[in-house]
Amino acid sequence: MSRRALTTAVTLACLMGVLVLMALWGVKAATAPIPSDSGTSTKKPGCASEDQKVAKYVRRGDVTVSVYNSGETSGRAQRTMDLLEQAGFKVGEVKNAPAGLRADRATVYSTKTDDPAAELVARALGKATQVVHTDEDLGPGVDVVIGDKFKRLDAKAPKRLPLPEPVVTCG
C-alpha cells in the first residue's frame, strides 16, 4: 500500500471515530431528562439567586412619562413634565398632542390593560384622571394628554402601588 493510501485510510478512520463519538454524545443529550424548576416562580433562568431582585411595588422612579399638550396654552406640557419630574417620575417625551387627541384636564393612555404604572401616574394627576387603554403608543413610557384645565398634581397621591404579581429581574 502506498504512503498516500495509508494516510487517507488513517484519516478516514479517525474521522469515523469522531463521527461515532459525536453521534453518541448527541443521542445522550437528546434523551437526557429536562431539569425541573422545582416549583419556584421567583427563579429567573440564567440568573443566580443572589443576583435576583423581586419587586412587589411600582414606584414613581420606575415609571417614565411622556406628556402631550392638547390645549391652547403654550408650554403646558413642559410645565406638567417638570411637576411630574419633581414628583419622582422619569422624563419621557414632551410635545403637542397629535391631531384629534383631546383632554379637558388630563387623560392617561397605556398600551397595557390593568397597568399599575399608568394607574400611579393617573393618581398623581388627580382622582378624576382616567386611564384609557390604546393600541397606539405615543412615546416612551406612560402617555399623558393634558388640556387647559389641568393645574397641578395631587399632593396626597401615592408614591407607589402594589404590583398584581411580584416581578423578578436580574441585577
pLDDT tens string 67-122: 999 999 889 999 999 999 999 999 999 999 998 888 989 999 999 988 999 999 99
- Residue 35: what pLDDT? 67
Query: Which residues on neighbouring strands pair with residue 69, listed in sequence order?
Result: 96, 146
CA 9 to each of CA 14, 15, 18, 20: distance values in angstroms, whole numbers, following the listed order: 9, 10, 14, 17
Return the pLDDT at 129: 92
pTM beyond cutoff 0.85:
no
Q: Looking at the predicted structure, is the pLDDT value of residue 25 above 60?
A: yes
Which has the closest alpha carbon to 151: 127, 129, 128, 125? 125
Q: What is the pLDDT of residues 154-169, one digit of tens each?
A: 999 999 998 888 788 7
- The CATH T-level fold of domain 54-170 is Alpha-Beta Plaits (3.30.70)
Q: What is the pLDDT of residue 28?
A: 85
Side chain identity at 131, as an amino acid letter? V
Is 108 within 8 Å of 152 (Cβ atoms)? no
Give the pLDDT score at 95: 92
Residue 144: closest CA among 62, 58, 69: 69
> Is residue 20 predicted with pLDDT exceeding 70?
yes
Residues 6+ apart with CB under 8 A from 119: 131, 161
Phi, psi of 42 (to 5 degrees): -90, -5
Helix, strand, or coil here: 169?
strand
DSSP state of 126: -
Q: Which of the four pLDDT bands, split at 50, 70 and 90, describes residue 38?
A: very low
Q: Residue 40's pLDDT is what?
A: 42
Using alpha carbons, select from 97, 94, 92 the residue that is nearest to residue 62.
Answer: 92
